[in-house]
Structure 1
Amino acid sequence: MTTYIMLLNWTDAGVKSVHDSPSRLDTAKKQLAEMGGEMKAFYLTMGEYDMVAVCEAPDDAVAARFAMQLGMGGNVRSRTLKAFPEGAYREIIATLA
């Protein structure tokens, strides 16, 4: 499985209904699981982003579909980063000339 870091911000609608945010998180976790992925960690953050999620998905298409599905809800906007674990990082660096 591939790891993705999702940087999330509430939209105006998401902030107005922030009390519903925990149930929306539960729904998102379930949706990702139904796509064959898993939300490994979730954080409320301070700074440029409101929340950060560490997710795993079988492939980029599933990660993209999940991000779009979140956006369609109208409560968050996301930026998704593909993450390479340390082992892959070392392999990539080792191939540099």
Structure 2
Amino acid sequence: MNRNVKKALDLATMGSSILWPSLEGVTDLMKFSIPKMKCGGCADSVTAALRGLDATAPIEIDLEKKEVEFGGNVPPQDRVLSALAAAGFPAANVQ
């Protein structure tokens, strides 16, 4: 098991973040707002859509803010946005 892989979900408050693996030290990040992401199941669907693009890229999901950060050797932004929309979670880039 990869020791860099972390998973955190605060079920009592619907969570602040879900990490797969850690974004610590990652310099190439994309951050997206996903208004329709409301629960852990939504976060799982978003994660699966991103994993379809890069199976090992770090992902951090903030359910409270309805945002996701995707890092590493990520594909072009339009491919990421298309994958999220196809999964039912249209997104917008966050600066």
What TM-score comes out, normalization by structure 1 length? 0.49
Aligned to 2:60, the other structure's residue is in SS state strand
Letter in 2 for 1:73: A
**Of residues 48, 55, 58 in structure 2, which corresponds to 1:30?**
48
1:80 aligns with 2:93: yes
Residue pairs, 1:12-31, within 5 angstroms: 21-31=39-49
Q: Deviations over 1:57-97 (max 9, x none)?
A: 52452x421221211233x3311247xxxxxxxxxxxxxxx
Query: In 2, Cα distance between the equivalents of 1:77 and 1:41?
Result: 17
Greater RCO (CA < 8 Å, at least 6 residues apart): 1
Aligned to 1:9, the other structure's residue is in SS state coil
Aligned to 2:35, the other structure's residue is in SS state strand
What TM-score comes out, normalization by structure 2 length? 0.50
Structure with the higher helix share, 1 or 2: 1
Structure with the greater alpha carbon radius of gyration = 1
Q: Deviations over 1:21-61 (max 9, x none)?
A: 4233223313323322534311123xxxx501111152452
**Of residues 53, 58, 64 in structure 1, which corresponds to 2:68?**
53
Mind listing any 5+ residue stretches in structure 1 that lack a counterpart? Answer: 83-97
Please identify runs of 4+ aligned residues in structure 1 that moved more than 6 A.
none
Mind listing any 5+ residue stretches in structure 2 that lack a counterpart? Answer: 1-26
1:6 aligns with 2:19: no
